Every structure is written in C-alpha cells, then in structure tokens.
Amino acid sequence: MINAAIVGLGWWGQNHVTATKGSDKIRFTRAVDLAPENVRDFCDANELALTDNLDDAFNDPDIDAVVLVTPHTQHADQVVAGAAAGKHILTEKPFALKKADGLRAAKAMTDAGLTLGIGHNYRYGAAVWEMKKIIESGKLGDIHHIEGNLSHQGQLGVEGWRRSNEEAPTGGIVHFGAHIIDIMCWYGGPMREVYAQLESRIIENDVGSVLVKFESGTTGYLANLMTTPASFHLHVMGSKGWARANGWMDTNKITTCFGAGKIEESGGVTEELELPIRDIYSQIRANDENFAAACLGDENYLFTPTEMAHTAAVHEAIATSANSKLPTQI
C-alpha cells in the first residue's frame, strides 16, 4: 500500500479519489488545490488533509506518490520537482506539449529511480486492451493502418485553463485526442511524421484531424471533434484481417474480420466479440493500482517513460504542422 497526494481536485481529480476508494494498493491521504474552500467538503468526506501548496505534498515524509491533475504546461516542472523530492509521480495526460519538456521530465524520474505514471486510463479499457492482445497474437498479420477518433462536446461552454491556447494549442487533439495518440503508439510503435489540420466551427480549434506515418511504415489517421456528441472509434487493419471498436470510453464490443487470402473471398468473415464491461472508474482504478504496485516493485507498469516522452514530441509536431500546413517530422 502506498500513500498518495492528489493535486487538483476538479472533476477528474475527484474521480481518482473515488475510483480508488477501498483499494489495498493505493490510498489518497492528502490533497492540494488552489481553491481549497471549493473542495473542503469533499476532502472532509474522504479524510484528505487539504492545503493549497504543492510543496506540502512534496515535503510530506508520509507521502509516497503524487498524482498531478494540473494544467498541461505545468506537468514537466512539477514532475522534475517531484523527482527532486523523491516522490513517485503520476501525471494526467497529456504528459507534456513539447518534446524537450517530455524528455526532461522523463529523464528526471528515470535518473532518480522513481516510477513515472500517466493518466491514460483508456489502455485499461476492455476493448482497447483486447485489441492489443489481438495485434500481438499475429492474427491480423502485418499492421498496415490504424485509425482512431475520440470526440465529445464536453468543452462547449466551458471556461478556464483547459480552453486556453497555451494549454490546448490544438484544441481537442490535446484533450481527448491525447488518448488516441497513446493508443496508436501502443499498437503501432513510435510515430515518425504527422500532417495536421484544424478548423474552428463553434469554439477555437474544435475540429482536428491528423495523418500519421509510423517509424515501422504503418500509416494512420486520428481525429477529434468538440462539436459532436460523445463518440469513440478505433480500427486496426492488417494483411490478414482487421479489428474495430466503437462506442464510448467503456465500450466492450469488438468486431473482427479475417479474410481467406483469395480475391473471390475478399469480403472476409466478421465476428462480434463481447467482453466484460470495464467502466471509467474501473479503468482509473486499474491504472492507479498498476502504478502503485510498480512503485513498490511488485508489477511492471504498463507505460514506459520513453513512450510518455514520445507523446510530448507528437503533440508538438501536430501543433507545428497545423500552423505551417505542412507535414512535420517528430
């Protein structure tokens, strides 16, 4: 069991506390929020010692790990400070928005011999997890193309730091598109080049899409819209078949199609696979508990610092490409 501090008690920060209630691997005992009066009742109900200073968490000898639910541009400096304080760190996505920041933060934690975590709960979702297993089984053959779209209207009408250009230079690609970037890299390996376009329909940069080339030669496409109701689409296509998931963040159904390798049978045979549901709280808990066990040396963490730093480079390249309207190397 590790003791953790949660930094930032908005909606998502509170989800971490709620999801891990009763866990035998991680326990939140301290909270940090810049507006403590707004969250005092929640902290009292969950027995969290509340302050408004991040250093209180870093300097607390009873705290093993710190979970950051803070503005994106602050992550790198806060991770580096956490490493200096000897704390394991899990930061919410995106890990960072610039390559140099991602490399700097990952190196600080690696050099300190500490566990670095990231809030990409989607990897622990039923369909996403199963599709990874299908890819690794070789049933799809050589992976030729990966597509993903995670969209929702949740940012419409929202004010605050999440809507600023500094924190979201590519709009929804930073918010929920970050999950798709992580999944695509988990499936296809590091990305080599991106070609991005952004449009503003209701709010700034609320429609975005990116063409991708992976180092492996696989191609890809990802998109996010902040103008449409909640939607999730993930499609992996290979030389022997494809696998597809649709729905939302708790989707538990996969469609597969495997061909016979003959032109006259090119339509293939489709099958539907239904898995046990793993809702959003279960995903958050799975990630936080995996991180906690890794802090104790009991499990391998599902993410590596190299992967996290790479996603920061991808975000910077997407922003550069969207501004230049040219393909951009990562």
Q: Parse the chain into domains and list their residue ranges.
A: 2-121, 123-283+311-329
pLDDT-derived band of residue 259, with 50, 70 and 90 as boundaries? confident
pLDDT at 261 over 90: no
pLDDT for 180 equals 97
Q: 202-239, pLDDT tens digit by residue?
A: 999 999 999 999 999 999 999 999 999 999 999 999 99
| Residues 318 and 210: beta-carbon distance below 8 Å | yes
pLDDT-derived band of residue 262, with 50, 70 and 90 as boundaries? low
Residues 6+ apart with CB under 8 A from 41: none
pLDDT for 164 equals 78
10 Å Cβ neighbour count for 137? 8
Selection from 225, 268, 281, 234 nearest residue 253 by Cα: 234
299 to each of 31, 88, 293, 303, how far by Cα in Å? 26, 15, 5, 12
Q: 14-43, pLDDT tens digit by residue?
A: 999 999 999 999 999 999 999 999 999 999
Q: 276-301, pLDDT tens digit by residue?
A: 999 999 999 999 999 999 999 999 99
CATH number of 2-121: 3.40.50.720
**Among the four given CATH numbers 3.30.360.10, 3.40.50.970, 3.60.21.10, 1.10.287.3510, the one describing domain 123-283+311-329:** 3.30.360.10
**Distance separating alpha carbons of residues 7 and 210, to the nearest angstrom:** 32
19 to each of 28, 66, 102, 244, how far by Cα in Å? 11, 16, 27, 28
25 to each of 36, 87, 124, 195, how far by Cα in Å? 27, 16, 17, 42
Q: Which amino acid would we find at residue 288?
A: D
How is residue 227 written in tokens? 């103008």
| Residues 120 and 287: beta-carbon distance below 8 Å | yes
pLDDT for 89 equals 98
**Average pLDDT value for residue range 164-174:** 91
pLDDT for 1 equals 96
Mean pLDDT estimate for the chain: 95
pLDDT for 33 equals 97
For strand 219-225 and strand 65-68, is the pairing parallel, antiparallel, or unpaired? Answer: unpaired
pLDDT at 314 over 70: yes
Q: 144-158, pLDDT tens digit by residue?
A: 999 999 999 887 766
pLDDT at 266 over 80: no
pLDDT-derived band of residue 121, with 50, 70 and 90 as boundaries? very high
In terms of Cβ atoms closer than 10 Å to its own Cβ (0-12, 13-18, 19+), residue 274 is exposed
